[in-house]
Amino acid sequence: MSGGVDSSVAAYLLKKEGYDVIGLTFRGWPQDCRSIEEDKCCGPQAVTDARMVAHSLDIPYYVVDEIDTFRVEVMDYFAAEYKRGRTPNPCVICNEKVKFGSLMRKARALGAEAIATGHYARITRNGRYELRRARDDRKDQTYFLFSLNQDQLARAMFPIGELTKERTRAIAKEIGLKTYGKEESQEVCFVPENDYRKFLRESAQVADAKGEIVTREGRVLGHHNGIHNFTIGQREGLNLGGQPRPLYVIELDVAGNRVIVGPAEDLLRGEFEVSNCVWHGGEPVEPLEVTVKPRHQHPGCAATVVATGKGGAKVSLAEAQRAITPGQAAVFYRDDLVIGGGWIC
């Protein structure tokens, strides 16, 4: 239970269906940690809200200590990816390693047979467990769940996957839950004010390292304070005044500590590779025609995926796309079914 309306209604629906429900919130931060804001997912206020909901639903409630797991698996990963010139996606890792990893093991120790969350997603069974888009495509969160394995999907439940967000809020209001109007957090929970650069400096000890901002041909246009301050497609913060046309970050050269910039058309990519793939139906032996989402907010585009072995795959896009970003997940769909996904490299 994150303290939000979605997990609150998920708990209510399960109890209404006759399940024996236990409320769990994981704490991933030490008591003196200032990087978790009061109203963020699983923050101090979230615990208060989740406990209040559990009390109103008359279900047991526990706060589970996941400090070490969260720091190692999520926060350290987040900092390490930026150091490598990549743009991380901590929510995918948190779901796989914490919520449906360590937290699931602790839930089973309490006697629970499954973990339910407030994610907008669905699970079906067709010889294996299938992850499918939510009915409300606007709120679908399968992108963040693509890396769950069969054992995790077998023990996962998404009670609001058939609902729209509006209906979820309406149910919460009907039953008198005070979380019915609570706003959603769209930011990384452990990064205050969504200022990841400040977080990297102060909490992850990622030191600034001055380097050059150059064109693809190597012409020096300016200087930067560290490649971890940039991501593919970024325009703001380059401080390159006097250029004849807008320039964007098109590549990060980690070895040379250089930020490479170019015009908007240089951001287009017709193909890319992914690593550490997860295949929900087994690694394909033939090319797959899929819809790929190279980032969460992307609407999806047609692509052909060819597995290359050792967990890798090559993705060829039907139409070139802008700002394909190393470190982000690329998730493959066939209609509403998640075929698999991998990490852009």
Tokens for 299, please give them.
Answer: 């609407």
The whole-angstrom distance between residue 345's C-alpha and the CA centroid of its chain comes to 17
190 and 67 in contact (C-beta within 8 Å)?
Answer: no
Query: CA–CA distance from 162 to each of 119, 154, 158, 225, 247 (Å)?
Result: 11, 18, 9, 47, 43
Tokens for 225, please give them.
Answer: 């304070």
Cα separation, 234 vs 267, in Å, equals 10
Q: Concatenated DSSP letters for 186-219?
A: -S-TTSGGG-HHHHHHHTS------EEEEETT--
94 is catalytic: yes
Which contiguous run of DSSP H or E holds residue 90? helix 90-93
Q: Where are the beta strands (DSSP E) in 66-120?
A: 115-116
Query: CA–CA distance from 43 to each of 4, 27, 91, 116 (Å)?
Result: 11, 8, 15, 19
Place of tokens 């992108």: 143
Write the Ramachandran bin of 193: left for phi over 0, alpha for psi from -120 to 50, otherwise beta: left
Cα separation, 300 vs 293, in Å, equals 5
For the chain, the first-to-last Cα distance in angstroms comes to 33
Residue type (1 letter), 215: T
Place of tokens 């069969």: 150
Closest by CA to 159, choosing from 51, 280, 15, is: 15
277 is catalytic: no
**Given the residues 42, 91, 189, 277, the one annotated as active site:** 189
**Given the residues 94, 277, 301, 345, the one annotated as active site:** 94
Tell me the sheet residues that pair with 242. Answer: none
Cα separation, 103 vs 188, in Å, equals 19
Positions marked catalytic: 94, 189
